[in-house]
Structure 1
Amino acid sequence: MSEATVLVADDDTAIRTVLNQALVRAGFNVRATGNASTLWRWVSEGEGDIIVTDVVMPDENALDLLPKIRKLRPDLPIVVMSAQNTVLTAIRAAERGAYEYLPKPFDLNELIGVVRRGLTVPHSREGGTAAEPEEERLPLIGRSPAMQDIYRVMARLLQTDLSVMITGESGTGKELVARALHDYGKRRSGPFVAVNMAAIPRELIESELFGHEKGAFTGAQTRSTGRFEQAEGGTLFLDEIGDMPPEAQTRLLRVLQEGEYTTVGGRTPIRTDVRIVAATHRDLRQLIGQGLFREDLYYRLNVVPIRMPPLRERLDDVPDLVRHFLGRAQSEGLPAKSLDAGALGVLKRHRWPGNVRELENLVRRLAALYSEDVITAQIVEEELFSERPPAAPAGDGEGGEPAGDGGHGESIGAAVEWHLNRYFAAHGEELPPAGLYDRILREVELPLITASLAATRGNQIRAADLLGINRNTLRKKIRDLDIRVVRGIK
């Protein structure tokens, strides 16, 4: 491998120099060029053991050159690097037979590792024949490192039928990933069928997935096809898989193991050819520990895990997302809008408990409700923070309100974030005045103690036990917070 020759193509002289030095130090021979025509000549003459090429070059786009290289030398691995770091770049590179895609900037050690693997792994991949997707229809938006990792995994999966498990908070775009895997994968000519486990009554999930025979249960007047039959030859997306009841889990495991299933009330096994992509916002390992999810099914589904990062972990993607949502709103008939730098700054400081869905809803609201062509920071602050109670009950996270997945602890945490976000939006990076602890504590204690007293009908001894505090401490807090105690009838 030390005698292997790497063909490097990049129109940036500085990048060619850096790559040349790094690869030579790693023990490779290097030939470098700044144009696609020279690269093609070298490949045609049989030179090189692996290619490292940029996408955009002065004479030709390297992605257009890839199919020619694959046809002439199908065993020559190609590493594509690009500063155009969108999911479509990764997808197009994979479709045209690239061995690996590296978004710029990248770590040189990572490149060396990719080159070494490319030289040792047998490589013969035929490019896909998908139509060129339009840029404005990007299935996923974001150039952050977290999203680049997802794009690279997706690109590797397009020509496979491996089961995929997508995890992440609500509103992060899990279904978008599932759709992209289908729309740009080898099953794109087949159906994409999505089913949400949490939206179906538990007693009907088996019938929904596998279908049922006439008379299989009360009310089954005719035979009904299930989602597996509807998705035949395509992709079945099982959203909120953590809500699947045990009986349905057992049936699904059989499908994954044997490639066949029976309808509810049926006896004849039915062969199936469906790719499974599952998603959840829940911790499946915790559910396994509680006996609520089968461990063997988890490993069957979790062949390739993809974690969707919350928006707060990829705030640099906010401007790209805003432009995308504004463009979509305009295409749907809403007025053209833009956000000034101050408004984008406010959005990048927000914590986004509702994730990308919350941001999309906000952008649509801005486009629909305001007459200004340019949205300012003041408008965004009013939409994000005005008329919002500091400690709202946990909600679904949309619209930017303090929310969680239903737990009171998450709601309290959202209230704290709300206070800090509101202050930072108005004062930049300046720290808020002292006393935040006491203010938050008071806002939490007052409703907590009031609710405890109401639950115990004013019995302070029982309320103190419920709260886990001393009775004298409770009495003092009742005085300090000026809580009116009303005793109920027992």
Structure 2
Amino acid sequence: MKGRVLVVDDEVNIRETISDILTDENYKVILASDGNEAEKKFLFEDIDVVILDILLPDKNGMEILKKFQKDFPIIPVIIISGHADIKMAVEAMKIGAFDFIEKPLSIERLISTVKNALMVKQLRIENINLKLKIPEVNFIGKSPVMREILDSIEKIAQSDASVMITGENGTGKELIARILHNKSKRRFYPFVGINCAAIPETLIESELFGYEKGAFTGAIKQKKGKIELAHKGTLFLDEVADLSLSAQAKILRVLQERQFERIGGHESISVDVRIISATNKDLMEEMKKGNFREDLFYRLNVIPIHIPPLRERKEDIRELANFFLSEYNSKNNTSLKFTEKALKLLEKYDWPGNVRELKNFLERVFVLSESPLIDEKDILKNITFPRSNYYEEYEGMTLKEAKIKFEKQLITSRLLKYDNNISKAAESLGIDRTYLHKKINELGIFSQKENFGRDV
């Protein structure tokens, strides 16, 4: 199908003739006999081009043209009339008509004008989006598992198949969804996201499907829902496992029939939207519990993407840290740098909050840093490493070897924490200064010996 054309004319023969001509050219044709019907079809159908008779029984064609131009300026309107004159044609073109064709219609002229109008509509869309400058979205990661995911994005983006993204909180599920949208043919249309867990069950359906005026107390005017706003684009259902069973049934209908009704409405609204979902829950387990519909799961999970937690791809931590550092330096006109030891320390931590935790942590480190060089001291001041990380390091050691290593790590950590202030480090360890000096010499902690011994 080349496009959808709305034909508005009060003469049955004219409507049917235009419909036959354009249908043969592989256009989808929607018919309206007057202005009121035209406005209704315009609201509930996905229209690419309008062919409008200037003289209608209920409304003046010029008035309808003005309304269409005001509400939907991106859609070309072709004016037709058997009563054409130069003055009327000039007025229609001034208002914004794409072209003016006089009856009786020339088949060749009609076909070429509709074809050109469709091309102009696409150019208008591209022009708008170039002005908006679709932001470039990048996912940082060089680990094999992330490279495999990122390499498949291009191919997945070109499909309209539903995608289910799974992974722990903070792994970057929405980022992947946005990359899919930005690389797809839908990139010039909206990316509309909704967090299903953040909206109360009583409100989720009105947010998704919208409502008509008077549908419930407080519905003082019509409101379009997220699905309708995402028309031609992408709908991102974050935390989809938290949808109520009622909302799940309605989403299933959208996927099956590409139609829905606003709350309080009776008109079925057609919608063309790609759905990308995300969850941090085990949907197989949720289905067993009866919390998630099996038929909806298979509709949403056509292409599954699982993003592993950061602790399972630690080779990405260094790249992420440098990326966030570069971002911060650019925004704040600073020139901070990491030491190698600081980066290695970041790689030792498991980051239970994943990329989100790493980003927030580093922002705190950047803000509080007193030197352009970020070292272990800056990291240790702001983070507590879980004990399990240390136990793994002692695997295969004798008790004596483990004791020496532990003492060296602990004393070094405290010295860094207190900026090599011997008195404060000794006090925190529960030993006197003399004994701490002795342990420093015994354990060979000489990297910053010239600074040791400060009491203030």
- Residue type of the alignment partner of 1:421: N
Match of 1:188 in 2: 187
In structure 2, the residue corresponding to 1:154 is in which secondary structure? helix
* Alpha-carbon distance between aligned partners in 2 of 1:422 and 1:212, rounded to the nearest angstrom: 57
1:226 aligns with 2:194: no
* Alpha-carbon distance between aligned partners in 1 of 2:228 and 2:166, rounded to the nearest angstrom: 26
* 1:212-245 Cα shifts (integer Å, max 9, x gaps): 1112122212111100111111111000000000
Aligned pairs (5 A) from 1:228-307: 228-307=227-306
Task: Please give the TM-score of this superposition, normalised by the length of structure 2.
Answer: 0.56
In structure 2, the residue corresponding to 1:165 is in which secondary structure? strand
1:311 aligns with 2:310: yes
* 1:27-54 Cα shifts (integer Å, max 9, x gaps): xxxxxxxxxxxxxxxxxxxxxxxxxxxx
Match of 1:155 in 2: 154
Match of 1:377 in 2: 376
In structure 1, the residue corresponding to 2:383 is in which secondary structure? helix
- Residue type of the alignment partner of 1:228: I
Quickly say closer, same or farther: Cα 1:283–1:432, change in 2 above 3 A.
farther
Aligned pairs (5 A) from 1:44-443: 139-333=138-332, 335-385=334-384, 418-421=386-389
Q: Contact 2:166–2:280 at 8 Å: present in 1 too?
A: yes
- Residue type of the alignment partner of 1:295: E
Give 1:334 deviation, angstroms. Answer: 5.8
Question: Which blocks of at least 5 consecutive residues in structure 1 are unaligned?
Answer: 1-128, 386-416, 437-490
* Alpha-carbon distance between aligned partners in 2 of 1:171 and 1:222, rounded to the nearest angstrom: 37
Quickly say closer, same or farther: Cα 1:371–1:228, change in 2 above 3 A.
same
Question: Which blocks of at least 5 consecutive residues in structure 2 are unaligned?
Answer: 1-125, 407-456
* Alpha-carbon distance between aligned partners in 2 of 1:272 and 1:137, rounded to the nearest angstrom: 27
Give 1:330 deviation, angstroms. Answer: 1.6
Q: Contact 1:336–1:367 at 8 Å: present in 2 too?
A: no
- Residue type of the alignment partner of 1:188: R
Give 1:264 deviation, angstroms. Answer: 0.9
* Alpha-carbon distance between aligned partners in 2 of 1:423 and 1:380, rounded to the nearest angstrom: 20
- Residue type of the alignment partner of 1:418: P
Q: Contact 1:164–1:302 at 8 Å: present in 2 too?
A: yes
* Alpha-carbon distance between aligned partners in 2 of 1:377 and 1:429, rounded to the nearest angstrom: 26
Task: Please give the TM-score of this superposition, normalised by the length of structure 1.
Answer: 0.52
* 1:139-180 Cα shifts (integer Å, max 9, x gaps): 100111010111122121121111000000000000000000
* Alpha-carbon distance between aligned partners in 2 of 1:338 and 1:324, rounded to the nearest angstrom: 11
Give 1:432 deviation, angstroms. Answer: 5.8
- Residue type of the alignment partner of 2:386: W
Quickly say closer, same or farther: Cα 1:311–1:337, change in 2 above 3 A.
same
In structure 2, the residue corresponding to 1:221 is in which secondary structure? coil
Match of 2:453 in 1: none
* Alpha-carbon distance between aligned partners in 2 of 1:217 and 1:433, rounded to the nearest angstrom: 70
In structure 2, the residue corresponding to 1:198 is in which secondary structure? coil
In structure 2, the residue corresponding to 1:342 is in which secondary structure? helix
* 1:256-277 Cα shifts (integer Å, max 9, x gaps): 0011111111111110011100
What is the total number of aligned residue pairs between the two structures?
Answer: 272
* Alpha-carbon distance between aligned partners in 1 of 2:264 and 2:382, rounded to the nearest angstrom: 53
Give 1:322 deviation, angstroms. Answer: 0.7
* Alpha-carbon distance between aligned partners in 2 of 1:316 and 1:255, rounded to the nearest angstrom: 41
- Residue type of the alignment partner of 2:200: P
Give 1:428 deviation, angstroms. Answer: 12
Give 1:367 deviation, angstroms. Answer: 1.2
The percent identity for this pair of structures is 45
Higher alpha-carbon deviation: 309-318 or 369-378: 369-378
In structure 1, the residue corresponding to 2:224 is in which secondary structure? coil
Match of 2:16 in 1: none
Match of 1:471 in 2: none
Higher alpha-carbon deviation: 193-202 or 361-370: 361-370
Higher alpha-carbon deviation: 216-225 or 250-259: 216-225
Higher relative contact order (CA closer than 8 Å, sequence separation 6+): 2
Q: Contact 1:164–1:304 at 8 Å: present in 2 too?
A: yes
Give 1:331 deviation, angstroms. Answer: 2.2
Match of 2:419 in 1: none
Quickly say closer, same or farther: Cα 1:177–1:359, change in 2 above 3 A.
same
Computed over aligned residues only, the root mean square deviation of the Cα atoms, in angstroms, reads 2.7
Q: Contact 2:186–2:234 at 8 Å: present in 1 too?
A: yes
* 1:267-299 Cα shifts (integer Å, max 9, x gaps): 111100111000000111111001110000000
Quickly say closer, same or farther: Cα 1:153–1:272, change in 2 above 3 A.
same
Give 1:335 deviation, angstroms. Answer: 2.5
Quickly say closer, same or farther: Cα 1:190–1:138, change in 2 above 3 A.
closer
Higher alpha-carbon deviation: 187-196 or 369-378: 369-378
